[in-house]
Amino acid sequence: MNNFSKLLLSVLTILLIIIYLQNVSLKREIESLKNKIDGIQKSEMPTSSLGKKLSEKMLEEELKEEKLKEEVIFIGNSKTLKFHLPYCQWARRINPANKVYFKSREEALKRGYKPCKICNP
C-alpha cells in the first residue's frame, strides 16, 4: 500500500465516522421530536374532553333554564323590585343571586314588585 492510498483510507474512515455520528444525532433529534408531538397530543386530549364536558354542562344549564321558563312566567329582581318577562333583556342581566321567580303577575305585585317598563309584564 502506498502513502496515498493510506491517506485516502484514513480520510474515508473519518468521513464514515462523521456520517455515522450525524446519523445518530439525527435519529436522536427525530426521537425527541416524536416525543414532543406525543406530549402535545397527550396534553391536548384532556383539555378537549374537558371542553366537551363544559359544553355539555352548559347545555344542561340551558335546558334547566328553558324548563324554568316554562314553569315560571315572571322573573323579579330583588334589588330593584321590578319584575320582567323571562325573555326580557333586563331579566337576563339580573344577578342570579337577586333573581326571584313568580308564577303570576298578581304574585309579583303582591310581593311589592313593579312591572318592567320595557317588557311590560
Note the residues at the interface with Zn ion (CB under 5 A): 84, 88, 90, 116, 118-119
**Shortest spacing between CB 64 and Zn ion, in angstroms:** 21
For Zn ion, which is the closer residue by CB, 42 or 93? 93
> 113 near 82, Cβ under 8 Å?
yes
For Zn ion, which is the closer residue by CB, 16 or 118? 118
**Shortest spacing between CB 63 and Zn ion, in angstroms:** 23
**Shortest spacing between CB 118 and Zn ion, in angstroms:** 5
- 3-class DSSP state for residue 82? strand
CA distance 107 to 113: 9
**Shortest spacing between CB 94 and Zn ion, in angstroms:** 10
Shortest Cβ contact with Zn ion: which residue?
116
- 3-class DSSP state for residue 2? coil
CA distance 73 to 67: 11
For Zn ion, which is the closer residue by CB, 5 or 106? 106
Pairing between strand 99-102 and 74-77?
antiparallel
Runs of H (alpha helix) within the chain: 3-71, 89-93, 105-110
For Zn ion, which is the closer residue by CB, 8 or 118? 118
